[in-house]
Amino acid sequence: MALGRQAIRDAGAKQAVKAQPRALVVPKATVVAPQPSSASAYVPRAQGPIILNGQVLHSITEERLDVVRSLEDGYLQEQVVPLLKPVDKCWQPADFLPQSQEPDFLDKVHELRQRAKNLPDDYLVVFVGDMITEEALPTYMTMLNTLDGVRDETGASQTPWAKWTREWTAEENRHGDVMNKYMYLTGRVNCKSIDVTIQNLIGSGMDPKTENNPYLGFCYTSFQERATKVSHGNTARHALEYGDETLAKICGMIASDEGRHEIAYQRIMDALFARDVNGAMLGFADMMRKQIVMPAHLMDDNEHSKKGRNLFQDFASVAERTGTYTAMDYADIVEYLVGRWNVPELTGLNGEAAAAQEYVIKLPNRIRKLAEKAQARKGKAKVHNQAFSWVFDREVLL
């Protein structure tokens, strides 16, 4: 997955949207009785609402939980699951890497290292940051399994929701594998520092503020998968510019996977908008007000903070400067989703959802204006270089 929240924070968007009221209605405190489902067992939720770490847990109402369950009856199998590829049709990391059993293995590693010599340090920092994000995959599977009504209750459940989550995870698992192995072979990066960062990130987890609510969760994944596609697409383009065609192919294949996955999650939201336009509109606006917290925002290499620096923020700054993922990309994704879900033309909205509609429609231009102002301020600021342990403490322009 990609970065971007820091770029928006730098643009001042958080201040602009902070004053907006919360969109989601917290359910009244009731004891929820178990509800049978033809596709999956439902575990009753505790008496609510529950506030933990500043957010409401299990904020979805019973009526909207029924809407989510209804997608199991055909829609998920017909519109979402087919976007996964059979394993024998998927690329694998070994397709792009020198094979250690082959007699010319060392020659191919030498060729790989020669190509990688042309990759500048700022590219390596962005690539490694994206790679570390991909390597924290256990956290993302865990996040999906916090969502009410769709979680894998047994670890091997045969419900369409559970199978989707596991098979999506299996496809995503290849991304970190190939990126990590390729970087290891280049000799250009500090693998131990990267390993420490990955372990810290998985141990820290993430909190996307989705409240165990699939309406919020699938808004988040709809955005995040597209953001990741953009970032990997740009690292592919940059790798080609620096003469590493194999690395460009790797990044391009990853971007292609993310493109399929974004369509899957957006189709889930398509159905929620069709079946519960008010709930979907409120969920979309709520996630936009909170901003999309990036999966790797808690990354830590045990070194950067000793210098009084935030590793994720500095990584995001390099990504912004190199054009890999920017505040403008964030605005473009919001605008894309507004169009994808036909938000300007939605009708039949209640008062609260209509206000959410108006807010979301105006948001992309608001973000762009704030980003332009932030960029102008940055252009006048003093140039700053920062050392990154990932590239053996070499300094990179932020």
Q: Is 58 a catalytic residue?
A: no
CA proximity to 139, closest of 297, 310, 319, 318:
297
Q: Is 72 a catalytic residue?
A: no
Does 172 belong to an annotated binding site?
A: yes
Q: Is 111 a catalytic residue?
A: no
Catalytic residue (choose from 228, 235, 322, 326): 228
CA proximity to 127, closest of 3, 310, 220:
3
Catalytic residue (choose from 121, 130, 134, 135): 134
Q: Is 384 a catalytic residue?
A: no
Catalytic residue (choose from 130, 148, 152, 172): 172
Catalytic residue (choose from 66, 91, 332, 352): 91
Catalytic residue (choose from 72, 130, 148, 175): 175
CA distance to 34, 246, 284, per residue, from 79 (Å): 28, 33, 21
Catalytic residue (choose from 121, 122, 130, 257): 257
Does 63 belong to an annotated binding site?
A: no
Catalytic residue (choose from 130, 148, 225, 244): 225
Does 134 belong to an annotated binding site?
A: yes
Q: Is 245 a catalytic residue?
A: no
Does 225 belong to an annotated binding site?
A: yes
Distance CA(122)–CA(398), nearest Å, equals 9
Q: Is 358 a catalytic residue?
A: no
Catalytic residue (choose from 58, 232, 261, 297): 261
Q: Is 258 a catalytic residue?
A: yes
Question: Tokens 């009731």 correspond to what residue?
Answer: 30
Catalytic residue (choose from 121, 244, 258, 314): 258
Q: In three state form, how does the secondary structure of the chain look?
A: CCCCHHHHHHHCHHHHHHCCCCCCCCCCCCCCCCCCCCCCCCCCCCCCCEEECCEEECCCCHHHHHHHHHCCCCHHHHHHHHHCCCHHHCCCHHHCCCCCCCCCHHHHHHHHHHHHCCCCHHHHHHHHHHHHHHHCHHHHHHHHCCCCCCCCCCCCCCCHHHHHHHHHHHHHHHHHHHHHHHHHHHCCCCHHHHHHHHHHHHHHCCCCCCCCCHHHHHHHHHHHHHHHHHHHHHHHHHHHHCCCHHHHHHHHHHHHHHHHHHHHHHHHHHHHHHHCHHHHHHHHHHHHHHCCCCCCCCCCCCCHHHHCCCHHHHHHHHHHHCCCCCHHHHHHHHHHHHHHCCHHHCCCCCHHHHHHHHHHHHHHHHHHHHHHHHHHHHHHCCCCEEEEHHHCCEEEEC
Binding residues for Fe cation: 134, 172, 175, 225, 258, 261
Catalytic residues: 91, 134, 172, 175, 225, 228, 257-258, 261
Binding residues: 134, 172, 175, 225, 258, 261
